[in-house]
Structure 1
């Protein structure tokens, strides 16, 4: 019931996750990223604890492939799970259990891994990888392009209703954590519009947290 992308920007070291699903609030369960460490999507009969565990393994020095191997060998019910991982060197790995739902597929390259289940077409993840690779600009733009490519390739077998995108870089919190938790319209269109509104302010929010005296105007009544 989900398709997602995890990725690293080779130029900036930023990590990101984008995900969409027919179920509500998908990003709250599936998107995991940690600055300087990596990005993970845990989906399909989702166990959110796999995301945190995968990031902890990356932080200990495991690469993406080793993380997937450890989870396969130690976590329960992995036959139901999909886990996508990208590490700090741009390595990528995917686990898709044989009991993943419906038509499921996966694709990856350096700095990116994509996967989905209950898909309308098995080519969806490769279309996402291809779109990510040919798109320039900020990582968020590239993730949105991949999600749009997923829709163009067929997307999920039924309509999607939620979407989200998480970006991390040099601070300990996500510099963007954008969510469309439910809509009867296209959540990816809504997420893209939200990103276009948030993108020009992203650096300002980081500055406000680190040094309010250096922050630009807040642009609200009473702000001098």
Structure 2
């Protein structure tokens, strides 16, 4: 019931994840990223504990491949889970359990991995990877382009209702954490529209956290 990608920008070191599903609030349960460490998607009959565990393992020095192998060893009911990971060196790894739902498959390259279940066809993850690699600009732009490519390739077998985009950079919190938890319209386009609004303000929000004395104006009534 989900398709997603995890990615690293080799130019900036940023990590990002984008995800969409027919289920509500998919990003709240499935999207994990940590600055300087990596990004992880934990999906398909989701075990939300696997995302933080994979990040902890990679922060402790494991590659994405070793971390996913350890997840396979430790995880309960791992045959039902899909886990995608990218690490600080751009290495990627994917576990897709044999009990993943419907049509499920995966694709990966350096700095990007995609997987999905209950898909319209088995070409969707490769279309997502190709869309990411073909796109340019900010990692957020590339994540949106990749999700649009997956949707154009067929997406989920049924309509999607929720989506999310998360980006981490040099600080301990996500510099972007955008979600559409339910929509009868396309949630990916809702996230794309929100990203267009948020992107020009991203650096200002970080600066306000680090030192509000030199931050841009807040853009509220009465602010000078």
| Runs of 4+ displaced beyond 2 Å | none
- Which residue of structure 2 aligns with residue 51 of structure 1? 51
User: May I ask how many residue pairs the two structures share in their alignment?
Assistant: 224
SS in 1 for 2:36: coil
Q: Gapped runs of 5+ residues in structure 2?
A: none
Q: CA deviation at 1:34?
A: 0.2
Secondary structure of the residue aligned to 1:13 is coil
Query: 3-state SS of the aligned residue for 1:103?
Result: coil
Separation in structure 1 between the aligned mates of residue 40 and residue 172 of structure 2, nearest angstrom: 16
**1:207 aligned onto 2:212:** no
Separation (CA, whole Å) in 2 of partners of 1:46 and 1:76: 11
Output aligned runs, 1:78-93, within 5 Å: 78-93=78-93
Q: Structure 2-normalised TM-score? A: 1.00
Is there any run of 5+ residues in structure 1 with no aligned partner, and where?
A: none
1:178 alignment partner, SS class: strand
How many angstroms apart in 2 are the aligned matches of 1:56 and 1:81? Answer: 18
Q: Post-superposition shift, 1:150?
A: 0.6
| Cα distance in 1 between the residues matched to 2:129 and 2:11 | 18
- In the alignment, what sits opposite 1:174? 174
2:19 maps to 19
In 2: Cα distance, 1:49 partner to 1:13 partner: 25
* Secondary structure of residue in 1 paired with 2:32: strand
Give the C-alpha shift of residue 73 in structure 1: 1.2
User: Partner of 1:136: helix, strand, or coil?
Assistant: coil
Structure 1 residue 33 corresponds to structure 2 residue 29: no
RMSD: 0.4
The reply on whether 1:197 has 2:197 as its aligned counterpart is yes
CA distance in 2 between counterparts of 1:41 and 1:73 reads 17
Give me the whole-angstrom Cα distance separating, in 1, the residues matched to 2:77 and 2:165: 26
The TM-score normalised by the length of structure 1 is 1.00
Distance 1:42 1:9 in 2: 20
Q: Helix, strand or coil for the counterpart of 2:103?
A: coil
- Mapped to 1, the partners of 2:129 and 2:189 lie a distance apart of 19
Question: In structure 2, what is the Cα distance between the partners aligned to 1:75 and 1:30?
Answer: 15
In the other structure, the counterpart of 1:155 is 155
